[in-house]
Amino acid sequence: MEELFQERIKRIDPRILPALQERSTFSFRINHHRFTTPEALALLQAQGFQPQPVPWAQDVFTLPIHERKRIVHAQAYTQKAIYIQNLSSIFAAYSLPIGPEDWVLDLAAAPGGKSLIFSERAAKVSAVEPDRKRFFRMRRNFKEHGAKNIQTYNKDGRFVYRSCPQWFDKVFLDAPCSSEAHIDGEVTWWSLRRVHRFAKLQKELIVSAYESLKPGGVMIYATCTFAPEENEGVIDFLLKRYPTSDLEPIEPPFDNWMEPLLEWEGKRFDERVLRGVRILPKGGFSGFFLAKIRKGLV
């Protein structure tokens, strides 16, 4: 399986495999439900941390990876002034345009980091998580970070649209996936069967997300995997199922990204998939895929 995995990744982009072994920094953002940015930075600097600002993301900072273990004992972390979160996840969440009157659905929300981002910008957020243990950890996470405008639901996201058709102004789906971007050593749990199983689930989830979105609304589909079956293949499926749907371009303000694939193993995708983004692992970024989808008015 390891040889097959590596061969597939090399075909996508040969830069990915060596980058999976390198992680030089980690990132965090300020939790504005409890602290201002100057207050949080003062706590960090008092304990010897020197965070570096991320140019494209307000109130997001990085530190060297060797500080990762120490920071979880720092006051800024224990008092929930900061939230440790991967730069790719932060960028994906920031790519969803949210207004102060918006109602946002986070369809596969645990552990809740993106819902917390949305809660600082939106009127209210509905966070859905099917796994009971992950659901209660997510609820505790929201409470500890002081977010009071998040509703939580222990439900299967595939069926949310049945009770909430066209309710939400914005939808975010960071879909469960084969998590190829998290493989940084021996390949033990990956298989093509796993990829195809997740692709089936993702198609069910993206239909639910799209059906839950108001006409004219915007949603983000994202994964932390490289598999085209789970990325471009799912977007291609949605565009074919809903002819009035469309993709809006995403313009990353960093250089470690590539265009999505237009073809994979004999299958050619809708050319609009090129408006999505594949983020390549680098520094505080993990591998990620995201696409911004606009729902048709009819």
How far is CA 266 from its chain centroid? 28
CA dihedral (29, 120, 221, 8) in degrees, to 10, reads 10
Which pLDDT score, from 0 to 100, does residue 298 have? 72
Amino acid at 133: K
CATH for 2-18+96-294 (3.90.1150.10, 3.40.190.10, 3.40.50.720, 3.40.50.150): 3.40.50.150
For residue 185, what pLDDT band results from cuts at 50, 70 and 90? confident
Average confidence (pLDDT) over 270-285: 97
The stretch 78-101 carries a mean pLDDT of 98
User: pLDDT tens digits for 116-175?
Assistant: 999 999 999 999 999 999 999 999 999 999 999 999 999 999 999 999 999 999 999 999
Token duo for residue 59: 């109130």
- Residue 30: per-residue pLDDT: 98
How confident is the model at residue 2, as a pLDDT? 86
Mean pLDDT (the chain, rounded): 96
CA distance 53 to 86: 14
Torsion of CA 63, 85, 236, 215, to 10 degrees: -130
User: What integer pLDDT is reported at residue 186 of this predicted model?
Assistant: 76
CB distance 259 to 243 below 8 Å: no
pLDDT of residue 190: 92
Choosing from 209, 224, 247, 290, which is the catalytic residue? 224
The answer to whether 164 is a known catalytic residue is no
Strand partners, 83: 29
Lowest model confidence (mean pLDDT) among 184-193, 213-222, 279-288: 184-193
Q: What pLDDT is stored for residue 89 in this prediction?
A: 98
pLDDT band at 184 (very low <50, low <70, confident <90, very high): confident
Full-model pTM: 0.96
**Domain locations in the chain?**
2-18+96-294
Check residue 22 and give its pLDDT.
83
Residues 6+ positions from 229 with CB-CB distance below 8 Å: 195, 196, 199, 264
Confidence band of 187 (pLDDT split at 50, 70, 90): confident
What pLDDT score does 207 carry? Answer: 98
Nearest CA to 105 among 174, 175, 176, 168? Answer: 168
140: Cβ–Cβ under 8 A, 6 or more apart, which residues?
A: none
